Structure 1
Amino acid sequence: MYRYLIIPLIVLSFRTAPAQDHNDFIHYDTLTYRLYLTNNWGELKNAGKEALRQGHDYYYLRMRLGIAFYETANYRGAIPHFQAALDFNSGDKTALEYLYYCYLFSGRHADVHALIPRLPMSFRVKNLLDRSSNITRFGLNYQYTFNNDREVFRNFTIPSDTSDGMQFLTRHFHYFSSSLGHTLSSRIHLQHMYTYIHKNDLFYYNGPDYAYVVPERNTSQHQYYLQARIRAFHGASFITSFHYVYTKSPALYKRQGFGHVIQLAPEFISNDVVLHLAYNQEAGPFNLDISGTYTYINQLRHWQQNLQLTCYPLGNLNMYSVTGISRITEHSRNITVDERYVFREKLGWKVTGSLWMELFGYTGNLKNFTDNLGASVFNSLDYIEYMAGGNLIFLLKNNTHFTLSYTLSRLHSTYNAYPAAEPVGTNHVHYNVHTLNGGIQWNF
């Protein structure tokens, strides 16, 4: 009904305006109203932008512009217009509901949760937004990584370096994880994740009294990850996370003669920590993430600075690109022993109504690198030089996502002396590993 009251109400409110401005206003208001009624969204966007440039800014113009962007699926383009409409009329139910869907279809979940208390009760009840449970998501994930190049193991040679140290070559490993997300308030969201990894390596150890090659040595790893996302204001959030990694490799023994046992490799236990702090800013079709990470991994301290830009050229989730760069400095005894960079790129697009595809790649030295807001830790001593792969993301019923992935990684194994005098070891071995991944996430 408010559509047909637009012209008389606005004309009355501009009676004191100069004649030329008044005529311009009548022109733009009449034009945008006509284009709105005929669903001519492209011309409406052009006319509305021109009206704003001429200094005409009012509730109904912003609503028409917001709806024009919304109807063409440019949800990110619609957001500032519905926000401006609410500046004119903060309690408008129509603008609030449109803004909710724009946030939702743009992937701006922090803004969605912050907006829910302002939505009409009838809308919240209809869409089941007032729930007794604060749980927002639950996920399960499994991946299997393997090295199918048997020549790498058959051709392994004992390092010429006689210093005490060790070398690993990955054979395969299993990765299991479960995650849970929940809200503390409309502005604070927490995510928990537990991960278990069982890894099998070729292991060479050179100690003070002996040297030995262990063809297959098992390592187990338990991880706990906690992330807090705090919404500061429209489109802006702070993200902080803590990640604890416990790694254990059992001691290996060999029986010599009757009742005599010697130790081939000592028990290895490490307690690694990752601390991450990020600022995330939404701006139109862009999402900017600036973050810093402190890690204590493999008995070395690291500082990592990250810059990441995500672009949604269509204003929705149907197409996007993610570009990132990280600088890592490695420190031992208060001395910087290494500096390296990691570059990453991801392209994603909607294939069908319920299927998305992503292609991604990383290049650089990923030794002791962290990713995904501190959730992913690359702490293996045979480090990744580059990796590339793809994801298939299926949108199932009831807000459930199922993901299948493949990754090819190029690994670089070296003999690492202890204590390390140089950041780069000796006895270099290069090889490929393959990773198959499957995961499911329920969103509530």
Structure 2
Amino acid sequence: MRNLVTAVLFLTLYVCNAQQITSEQFDLETYNSFSKKDYNTTIQLGNEAIKRGIDFYFLRYRIGVSYFEKTNYEVAITHFEKAKEFDSNDPVLMEYLYYSYLYTNRNEKAVELLAIFPDDLKAKMNYKSSFFKSISAELGVLKTNNFDTNKNANLKANNNFAHGTFYSDVIFANIFINNQITPNFKLQNLLSLVSNTSNDLFQSSLPVNRSQLFTNNNNYFQWNGIGSYYCKGWNIGAGFGVYNSSYITYTPPPPFQPNTPFSSIKTNTTNFSTSISLSRKLKYIEPSLAITYTNLSNTDTFCIEGALNYFPLGNLNFYGNTKIGMVTNDSETNTIITQLLGVKIAKKIWIEGYGAYGNHQNYISDSGLYVFNTPNKINWYAGSNLNFYFKQVDFSLGYGIQERASTYENGPNPSSINTINYTYNYNLLKTKIVWKF
């Protein structure tokens, strides 16, 4: 029995000593390869050490920096966070971890970490605790030949009466304000102003051929407020929106009364929306779900949207966003599929391509940041953005195309009409500038 105990004790001491020697060897070998900036070897040796149960601060630090230099920031985060458990006071480590969060779109984690930086590190990074994180302004125009194509057309065909509302160009402006209230809570405000031109065209042959055109400039205002709270990797959001618009409805005189003027009614409408959302950033992906209620078009409507952001390279050099939305009310249910892909093409330049398919009318996306409160439904759209990112200012140029669907009416008289469906296109030109504080 004494011999067995002695053997077990000897074996235990031998294994512990071998473990200590192996740990020292890995420390020396990873130090040498790391010093030579041989990051592939450092990663290989470091991962082998971890497989053997060897783990210490400098091992994780060297592996993390090696992945960081290879721009795989997602994997770097794993090792930096583990190194932080060994030593949370190393300012160099914290700086590496901060930028790894930023370069993987983990902005909430970056803000949370920045708040606990020591004063000297904050000074080095020119950190300023600002209530305003960013303010952006976007201007754009949607151009169409819809009215020009139809204004001289024979809408009556073989009938006596026709009426259609044909829209011309649209001009819009957006102001987006991003406030960081606390390290875990941010508030976003979006203000939008849209101006479009509607052309109400009436054609009649009762009793003689007659054409009447009414042109109006219509203004539309939108405000959306979205608050989101970050807690243990989860983002919980709530939004509210108010939408105000006005339009004029024209009614033709009875047949055989050509000298009787048209009657008109101006209508102002105010609608609202409310939404809740939930998202979580995981390694390489970020799933989210949002549910919105709105009474746009004075119709009770629910929008449900599931989205997935993904960063397959572990950085922002290539990324994508896929969304599937559903818009449902008492009369219909529509499904919308949206896809975006972005790729880095130069040091500070990214290009994005996007597209969407489905009836977008009254569709609310991203908890209210994108609202499709259009008089005619959007069947599909596609486009691209060229984005320039600098230290204090971001700049973007965009082009897109939309297909919209509309109708006009004709018939033997205004009381007996047929509905004619047709489509037309908008060409979108926009520019956006973001000031970062």
CA distance in structure 1 between the partners assigned to 2:142 and 2:13 by the alignment: 73
- Could you say what secondary structure the match of 1:223 adopts? strand
Contact between 2:136 and 2:432, CA under 8 Å: does it hold in 1? yes
**How far does residue 390 in structure 1 lie from its aligned partner after superposition?**
0.6
Q: Given the alignment of the two structures, is residue 307 of structure 1 paired with residue 306 of structure 2, yes or no?
A: yes
- Could you say what secondary structure the match of 1:49 adopts? helix
CA distance in structure 2 between the partners assigned to 1:160 and 1:366 by the alignment: 34
Instruction: Give 1:237-316 correspondences, 5 Å limit.
Output: 237-250=235-248, 264-316=263-315
CA distance in structure 2 between the partners assigned to 1:274 and 1:195 by the alignment: 15
Q: 1:439 aligns with which of 410, 432, 436?
A: 432
Instruction: Give 1:45-60 correspondences, 5 Å limit.
Output: 45-60=43-58
Gaps of 5+ in 2: 1-11, 203-210, 254-258, 410-417
CA distance in structure 1 between the partners assigned to 2:132 and 2:432 by the alignment: 19
Q: Which residue of 1 aligns with 2:414?
A: none
RMSD of equivalent CA atoms: 3.2
In structure 2, do the counterparts of structure 1 residues 439 and 17 end up closer, same or farther at CA, with 3 Å as the change threshold? same
Q: Which residue of 1 aligns with 2:6?
A: none
Q: Which residue of 1 aligns with 2:96?
A: 98
How does the TM-score come out when normalised to structure 1? 0.82
Q: Deviations over 1:181-234 (max 9, x none)?
A: 1111111111112111111123469xxxxxx97553321111111111211124
CA distance in structure 1 between the partners assigned to 2:13 and 2:406 by the alignment: 78
Q: Given the alignment of the two structures, is residue 169 of structure 1 paired with residue 163 of structure 2, yes or no?
A: no
Larger deviation: 217-226 or 40-49? 40-49
Gaps of 5+ in 1: 1-13, 206-211, 332-336, 417-424
Q: Which residue of 2 aligns with 1:317?
A: 316
Q: Which residue of 1 aligns with 2:36?
A: 38
Q: Given the alignment of the two structures, is residue 406 of structure 1 paired with residue 403 of structure 2, yes or no?
A: no
CA distance in structure 2 between the partners assigned to 1:232 and 1:160 by the alignment: 66
Q: Deviations over 1:275-296 (max 9, x none)?
A: 2222221112222222222221
Amino acid at match of 1:264: S
CA distance in structure 2 between the partners assigned to 1:156 and 1:193 by the alignment: 43
Q: Given the alignment of the two structures, is residue 388 of structure 1 paired with residue 382 of structure 2, yes or no?
A: yes
**How far does residue 415 in structure 1 lie from its aligned partner after superposition?**
5.9
Q: How many residues are aligned here?
A: 405
- Could you say what secondary structure the match of 1:283 adopts? coil
CA distance in structure 1 between the partners assigned to 2:53 and 2:295 by the alignment: 55
**How far does residue 128 in structure 1 lie from its aligned partner after superposition?**
2.5
CA distance in structure 2 between the partners assigned to 1:148 and 1:169 by the alignment: 10
CA distance in structure 2 between the partners assigned to 1:170 and 1:261 by the alignment: 26
Amino acid at match of 2:432: G
CA distance in structure 1 between the partners assigned to 2:109 and 2:318 by the alignment: 21
Contact between 2:112 and 2:183, CA under 8 Å: does it hold in 1? yes
Q: Given the alignment of the two structures, is residue 360 of structure 1 paired with residue 354 of structure 2, yes or no?
A: yes
Q: Given the alignment of the two structures, is residue 136 of structure 1 paired with residue 130 of structure 2, yes or no?
A: no
Contact between 1:253 and 1:263, CA under 8 Å: does it hold in 2? yes
Contact between 1:251 and 1:263, CA under 8 Å: does it hold in 2? no
**How far does residue 160 in structure 1 lie from its aligned partner after superposition?**
12
Instruction: Give 1:54-69 correspondences, 5 Å limit.
Output: 54-69=52-67
% of aligned pairs identical?
Answer: 22
Contact between 2:305 and 2:326, CA under 8 Å: does it hold in 1? yes
Greater Rg over alpha carbons, structure: 2
CA distance in structure 2 between the partners assigned to 1:203 and 1:379 by the alignment: 20
Q: Which residue of 2 aligns with 1:421?
A: none
Instruction: Give 1:121-200 correspondences, 5 Å limit.
Output: 121-131=119-129, 133-149=130-146, 150-155=148-153, 157=155, 168-200=165-197
Amino acid at match of 1:440: I
Contact between 2:276 and 2:290, CA under 8 Å: does it hold in 1? yes
Q: Given the alignment of the two structures, is residue 229 of structure 1 paired with residue 228 of structure 2, yes or no?
A: yes
Contact between 1:147 and 1:433, CA under 8 Å: does it hold in 2? yes
Contact between 2:236 and 2:279, CA under 8 Å: does it hold in 1? yes
Q: Which residue of 2 aligns with 1:201?
A: 198
**How far does residue 62 in structure 1 lie from its aligned partner after superposition?**
1.5
Instruction: Give 1:414-433 correspondences, 5 Å limit.
Output: 414=407, 426-433=419-426
Amino acid at match of 1:303: F
